[in-house]
Amino acid sequence: MNALTKIKIIEKLHTSIGLSRSECSIFLDAFFSKILNSLKEGKNIKIANFGSFTIKSKNSRIGRNPKTKEEFTISARKVIKFKPSSALINKINK
């Protein structure tokens, strides 16, 4: 599997915009930090032609170990959901 890593994104930014690698790294860190802080505050993120990030709350529930059949409580938690935009879906399916 050929994953797009943070280093590869920084390199692509460096070659396409001409900023130094360290400036691209600072920009990318600030971008991710802004998204993370907004999600922590309960705000949704919408990026045009890309998609939306939302926070959903999951209630606690009873889980079961499939091997031993022992029941336990899965605690309540928040999860991040991503919904791609129709423009992104169309680009991927071309």
For the chain, what are the domain ranges? 1-41, 44-94
- Say what the pLDDT of residue 43 is: 94
The confidence band for 87, taking pLDDT boundaries of 50, 70 and 90, is very high
Cα distance between residue 9 and residue 19, in whole Å:
13
Is 58 exposed, middle or buried, given 0-12, 13-18 or 19+ CB atoms closer than 10 A?
exposed
pLDDT digits (tens, 9 = 90+) for 67-78: 999 999 999 999
**CATH says 44-94 is which class?**
few secondary structures
What global pTM score does this model have? Answer: 0.74
Cα distance between residue 41 and residue 65, in whole Å:
34
At residue 59, does pLDDT exceed 80?
yes
pLDDT digits (tens, 9 = 90+) for 3-57: 999 999 999 999 999 899 999 999 999 999 999 999 999 999 999 999 999 999 9
Q: Cβ neighbours of residue 24 under 8 Å, at least 6 residues apart? A: 10, 13, 14, 17
- Say what the pLDDT of residue 2 is: 85
